[in-house]
């Protein structure tokens, strides 16, 4: 079975400071990993994904995520937070080597960026 843990329900950061939203996963074989963002009253928007290759993945809106196989983590980062980054962030995982092609989503982390 595959699973995702987002240990923080909420992350608070001041505008201009770096931000990190944590995600750890469990999956059989190699993972495909995803981050999505959900703004209020909107659907999920795809931010970035890790499939293979470089462990540091760059995505939309200046976000990046680092795949760490030994720690089974895929933390989302941004060097300088904006107030407009305030939203709900979801990490997702699926197996790259068979099994379910449907990703499992974490419970979400609410990011609040203070002016």
Partner 1 sequence: SAVISQKPSRDICQRGTSLTIQCQVDSQVTMMFWYRQQPGQSLTLIATANQGSEATYESGFVIDKFPISRPNLTFSTLTVSNMSPEDSSIYLCSVEGGLAGAGDTQYFGPGTRLTVL
Instruction: Please report, as ranges, the residues that interact with partner 1 according to CB under 8 A.
Output: 32, 34, 36, 41-46, 49, 51, 90, 92, 94, 101-103, 105-108
The H or E element that residue 47 is part of is: strand 44-50
Please, which residue, 42 or 79, has the CB nearer to partner 1? 42
Q: Rounded to the nearest whole angstrom, what is the least distance from the CB of residue 81 to partner 1 in the complex?
A: 23
User: Of 8, 4, 34, nearest to 106 (Cα)?
Assistant: 4
Q: Rounded to the nearest whole angstrom, what is the least distance from the CB of residue 7 to partner 1 in the complex?
A: 14
Q: Rounded to the nearest whole angstrom, what is the least distance from the CB of residue 86 to partner 1 in the complex?
A: 16
Please, which residue, 66 or 105, has the CB nearer to partner 1? 105
Please, which residue, 13 or 109, has the CB nearer to partner 1? 109
């Amino acid at each position: 079975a595959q699973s995702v843990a987002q240990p923080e329900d909420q992350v608070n950061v001041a505008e201009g400071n770096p931000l990190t939203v944590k995600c750890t996963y469990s999956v059989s074989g190699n993972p495909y990993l995803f981050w999505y963002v959900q703004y209020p009253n909107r659907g999920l928007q795809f931010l970035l994904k890790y499939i293979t290759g470089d462990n540091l993945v760059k995505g939309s809106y200046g976000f990046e995520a680092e795949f760490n196989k030994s720690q089974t983590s895929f933390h989302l980062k941004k060097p300088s937070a904006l107030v407009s980054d305030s939203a709900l962030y979801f990490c997702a995982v699926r197996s790259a080597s068979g099994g379910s092609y449907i990703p499992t989503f974490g419970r979400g982390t609410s990011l609040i960026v203070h002016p």
